[in-house]
Amino acid sequence: MSVEELTSLPNVIESKLYDRLRGDKVRCRVCERRCIIPPGRRGFCSTKININGRLYTLVYGDLSAIESRPIEIKPFFHYWPGSTALTFSTWSCNFTCPWCQNWSLSKTFPDPQRASYVSPETVVNSALKRGDEGLCVSFNEPTLLFEYSLDVFRLGRDNGLYACFVSNGYMTLEALEELYRAGMDGLKIDIKGTQDVYEEYLGGTLVDIVWRNAKRALQLGIHVEIVFLIITGVNDDESTIREVIERHCKELGPDVPIHFTRYFPAYEFTNPPTDVTKLERAYEIAKEVGINFPYVGNVFGHKWEHTYCPECNYPVIKRLNWRIISYKLNEEGKCPRCGTQIPIRGRRIKKLRLLF
């Protein structure tokens, strides 16, 4: 395919964040890998390409999946509870997790010659027709869909839709702030563990970047929740768990939810599923450290997937997996028993609908 044919495709548009370097090289500024890419080559994620000294994305509107999903599945527990978001994704990833749950998407490189194209208008109109209250980029790493997300989020905001990412948190600050200005107000970040886990399994990436971005998102007013997938033999020792929890409390404060999620074997990783007692111990440590809203996830029917008032321990929201089965917060979002304010982003549930 010629350069002219490639750049004429709707999926191929010039990136908004990059530097032009000597020798027609470019430096991508969308993710913190900051790949320096020679002419005709792609970056680490394979979704960005240098064409004649300019950086292009190959995945604008090339969607690998699109469907309405409950926001609790992400998981977001304090963000638009009981709502659904039109959730969409593209291909590839900027991390190398060998346990990836969505590996059929994240381990597939985009092919612009075979790409689909879904316009931002189509996505937003689909969300409105389905009755979704928001938009969510998920399944694979949403940072790779950065340029497209900006346009979808702006259009969604104009139509009253919330916008969120389910991310590994490795975007640049510039990208994060651009997304915020476009309307993103929810960010769920997966923490993989301590620095040694990032070095051994994730290609030398830096955990400090992830915490930095989570903290900056909070400063911008974005709703943040953290997920810590606890993986057998990788990050399930108590010292690692405690270090993650203590850093969460230090960087983000006691009111930012943290979800301790059970791992199951996937892709190239065959270690046995996480011992549930490890998740329960993580929950106990979080409460000891002072985190108000820890959760145990991926364990069907567990009592610690409910939201408890941090003052009186009353279960203000009960869940069964991703379904809300009881919602007791009053009109002001307070515990009905003791009056403690529970931090929730989005409209309150006034009448519990059938969410099964």
Per-residue pLDDT reduced to its tens digit, 2-57 = 888 899 999 999 999 999 999 999 999 999 999 999 999 999 999 999 999 999 99
Contact between residue 248 and residue 226 where contact means Cβ atoms under 8 Å apart = yes
pLDDT 10s digits, 170-220? 999 999 999 999 999 999 999 999 999 999 999 879 999 999 999 999 999
pLDDT 10s digits, 222-254? 999 999 999 999 999 999 999 999 999 999 999
The verdict on 289 and 321 lying in the same domain is no
Q: Is the pLDDT of residue 356 over 50?
A: no
Q: Is the pLDDT of residue 269 over 60?
A: yes
Beta bridge partners of 259: 227, 295
Q: Which of 321 and 305 is assigned the larger pLDDT? A: 305
The verdict on 110 and 52 lying in the same domain is no
Sheet holding 134-137, edge to edge: 65-70, 84-89, 134-137, 162-167, 186-191, 223-230, 258-262, 294-297
The answer, as to whether pTM is greater than 0.85, is: yes
Handedness of CA 55, 124, 348, 279 (dihedral sign): negative
Taking phi over 0 as left and psi of -120 to 50 as alpha, with beta for the rest, 325 belongs to alpha
The verdict on 242 and 342 lying in the same domain is no
- Among 247, 304, 307, 310, which Cα is nearest to 280's? 304
The verdict on 342 and 242 lying in the same domain is no
The verdict on 30 and 152 lying in the same domain is no
Q: Is the pLDDT of residue 1 over 80?
A: no
The verdict on 274 and 204 lying in the same domain is yes
Longest dimension (CA), the chain: 67
The verdict on 262 and 320 lying in the same domain is no
pLDDT 10s digits, 67-79? 999 999 999 999 9
The verdict on 140 and 223 lying in the same domain is yes
Listed in sequence order, the residues at least 6 apart from 68 whose beta carbon sits closer than 8 Å to its beta carbon are: 84, 85, 86, 87, 127, 130, 132
| Angle CA 235–236–238, to nearest 5 | 110
- Residue the block writes with tokens 């989570």: 214
pLDDT 10s digits, 107-147? 999 999 899 999 999 999 999 999 999 999 999 999 999 99
- Picking from 287, 305, 323, the residue at the C-terminal end of a domain is 305
Contact between residue 139 and residue 102 where contact means Cβ atoms under 8 Å apart = yes
The verdict on 284 and 156 lying in the same domain is yes
- Among 136, 144, 101, which Cα is nearest to 11's? 144
Of the chain, the end-to-end C-alpha distance in Å amounts to 48
Q: Is the pLDDT of residue 266 over 70?
A: yes
pLDDT 10s digits, 28-38? 999 999 999 99
The per-residue pLDDT for 353 is 57
What is the number of structural domains in the chain?
A: 3
Q: 315: part of which helix (H) or strand (E)?
A: strand 315-320
- Average model confidence (pLDDT) across the chain: 96
Mean pLDDT of 300-319: 98
| Angle CA 286–289–290, to nearest 5 | 90
Peptide bond into 39 cis (omega under 30): no
What's the domain range around 93?
Answer: 65-305
The verdict on 206 and 338 lying in the same domain is no
The per-residue pLDDT for 352 is 63
The per-residue pLDDT for 355 is 44
The per-residue pLDDT for 135 is 98
The verdict on 187 and 287 lying in the same domain is yes
Contact between residue 187 and residue 214 where contact means Cβ atoms under 8 Å apart = yes
- Picking from 11, 37, 57, the residue at the C-terminal end of a domain is 57
pLDDT 10s digits, 324-355? 999 999 999 999 999 999 999 998 786 665 44
The verdict on 328 and 298 lying in the same domain is no
The per-residue pLDDT for 204 is 79
Q: Is the pLDDT of residue 221 over 80?
A: yes
Helix (H, G, I), strand (E, B) or coil at 326: strand
